[in-house]
Amino acid sequence: MNPPRRFPATLNRNPAQRDLLMPQRHLREATADAARLTQPSGRGLDSAAVRERMVARLRADGIKDERVLQALAAVPRHEFVDSALAAQAYEDTALPIGLGQTISKPSVVGHMIGLLFGGVGAGQRGDLGRVLEIGTGCGYQVAVLAGLARQVVSIERLKGLHDKARLNLQRLAMPRAPRLIWGDGRIGHAASGPYDSIVAAAGGDDLPAAWLEQLAPGGRLVAPMAAANGRGQVLVVMDHVLEGGVSRWLRSEHEAVLFVPLKSGVL
């Protein structure tokens, strides 16, 4: 397996943070940035050119999979943030979406989906197949995945965000309607499995057994988890390999990250 490509760090981090992907900055920092914004006119946000400029920056910063870039270019990110924050929608930044959560940076969304495409199964199919997303949030990543998968199932434990995502996605014309579940992400959603791809937007100390059980042979899982050496959180990739009728899960660790905690139960 080729060594993972180092993903560009945000320019304004101090040296101790430069190797850390922070898709969901601390809410206090994101809210402070939002408070400094002026009310946008909204003019031009629906233009494809605005999204293409965002994609050009992401390409220059290291995201090379054109399928992922075009999926990002197709989704109007400003539809997933509050209107007062729309001026920042196409910057590579996290923004508050309510209930103490933030929308992930486009660069991190693109990077994690790119890792999913690196799996053997995706390489054979040419798409992500049936996808399970843990942590719907405002629905932005769901919309991106919908352009790359045969089916998307997304589960969110916070009812307020589940409802917000449903409303956001109803405004879009998507090739395939995703299935949104209000439930406990740690137990996945076996009824719609098995899944060819699983991606998580929250991190914990361990990978829930239910996720591995619901990952189809040839499938790949990407999630933020505690590093094996105990030093912080990293992106973990798990590949489900079937050899001689026996399943094995191959683990690899990638960039350091900082995601919101993975929690059980629903609210």
Residues with catalytic annotation? Answer: 104
Residues 6+ apart with CB under 8 A from 169: 139, 142, 143, 177, 178, 180
Angle between helices 106-117 and 48-60 (to 10 degrees): 70
Phi, psi of 237 (to 5 degrees): -115, 130
Pairing state between β 151-156 and 130-134: parallel
Beta bridge partners of 131: 152, 197
In the block, tokens 């030093």 appear at 231
CA distances 239 to 64, 134, 186, 233, 261, Å, are 22, 17, 18, 19, 23
